[in-house]
Structure 1
């Protein structure tokens, strides 16, 4: 099947999806296979959603993924109906044009390509409609709770090397695996940790739910320079009061929560960092192979090049060297792990259902770029969207927990 515009995969993640069944005589003849608060989903709906996501080259394109996406989308539509929200045709056409424009094509050309690949235009149209409705639902419900201050914007506009300069932090972490089928459970656990008040409560929950190595210490991590953390996390950590935790943070195949225990002065930061590290896929999390390889690394590897000996005979893709990667380009979950490692140290993290060992090879200063800073209004909008996104994730989880979902 032809892949349609990989650039739109990012757009798919930023616009919540719906995929209501196309309004055709054929689709109306199909009986629902799932109902969500009385709203039906047919097998045809699921087929269309799966094909649509495959054309966008999005992650999670199995039939089960398509069904789960449609269940959540029905809940989004249901939430909009509760407050009488609607989208008129003119606004919908602008939304469709905006979505297609992210790949520099017109909505008409995008729709034509969908049709050539067996996707009814109504699938795209209702996908956009639901995304627009959900944004309005979230803003109406949680917008008044979001208060972005001048100080928040000032911190966010600092160059990466200046955010938290000369500051060290003492944090606790909890990272909950979220492989396919466990996303809601991981988010529920993360929300409990976010609501924890005090280090004892957070530590008890981290010991119970977290998959990171720090769980043995209730999630406690030693003092570290704030600049070791990925840039998106620094402002979140600085905004905390000791004993309070962040909102759930989505990582690749996991959800994370961080609590600030203490903050203090540290050595002046050197500036933007680049890191060299290695990732070693050990196999399924909890498997005998993963445990055996992790023990072998702990006993025999003190430098990155020594991992090659341990990985001998395994597929070449199992062990990957990442040389001089700008800190801002490192995946957030790996960046969090690297933040509290010294050179030559390792940690086993769980990404989805797999165990992955990370070893830090080097951490060096890099020249600061000359990128033009965004405007204050743009930064305010980014911060508001980030806060609203956290609220939206929790609200959707609540909707699903309370919904009447019947599979036939």
Structure 2
């Protein structure tokens, strides 16, 4: 009941349309347990979020963040965490570094925009304290199993690689002084548009580019031709969804993804299977073992009843499995078995594991291939007749995968490429199952494990913060 009351109080307060006028800049606007949030802090946080161009802004969002900062600092105090001066300075430097500034430069830039140094320090201090709370309380409880890693890798492998997209665009002019209003309209559209028809209607109404008359509809565009920033955004979208508003000089832009074209990763349909094969005197023996054994390890236990070494365990590409065995395991799930009986003895076959071959190929393989350049082709041809690097050679020298791909397209030598170190690296990467030259790299097990680990930590931290919020006494003055 106490949690319900507290949750209701904060929801009612944070959901109010406006805050009551305060007696002065340092008058409290809300109490979080025994700590007050002042009008001055609220005004500063609102301005700070505007300067940072935070995705969500406004007084309600700022107040919610300040309430959570109080809860984070209190949780830290309760378990004996105190942010040292050195820890705070490191946190300030880390945050300023994201803007390619040092602390002094960042503080001065904020001051020019009306944000005091203390507001910046308070924001970072709460983040540093909460990071340590999470490290001590949550990180030790989070585990990632090998099965979770393999399932995630399997999804990566089986997800088609998008090669082209069908987009609609909506470009709204944002003249000086109207940027925030136009951005707010963009956010509202991103929240309410749920169909292509709704996006097309909005494009006809608000868009200022020639595609407005046809509802913003664009033709098929190759992913390789998209700007890297837009490519990253589109990659995260699903067909039938709208992007968050993007701010560009003088405009706010939204995209709607209508459809995609793609291809499977090379080797995505290849499988590696692990199975046990137990030689038996009769099919009846096999049927009896299958009634008792529910795993490959249990089949090994059963094999101890027979003389000699009648059991073997194989891990093979499916294409290398004997045809009669491959035919039987095609319909089996993990830890299911069958008996092959040809009249002169029998064989029990149990499938232990089935996985895309690329999962096995990626184990222990470094995507940087130590001792060789990055797996990216850089053909020797591509110089102009005068001996200077032509457009293709210059692009390859830029050192980016996009530049190298464009360079390879632009320079098509009549003769086959001569072997070189860069080509050897690319060929080795392809042979290892990491990627072909025109495919994105397959994430390693360590990368996948880290991504799952971080996702679990973030979810657990959010749940813990929600619990702190529900248990807190949050009230107006």
TM-score computed with the length of structure 1 as normaliser: 0.50
Please tell me whether Structure 1 or Structure 2 has the larger radius of gyration of its CA atoms.
2
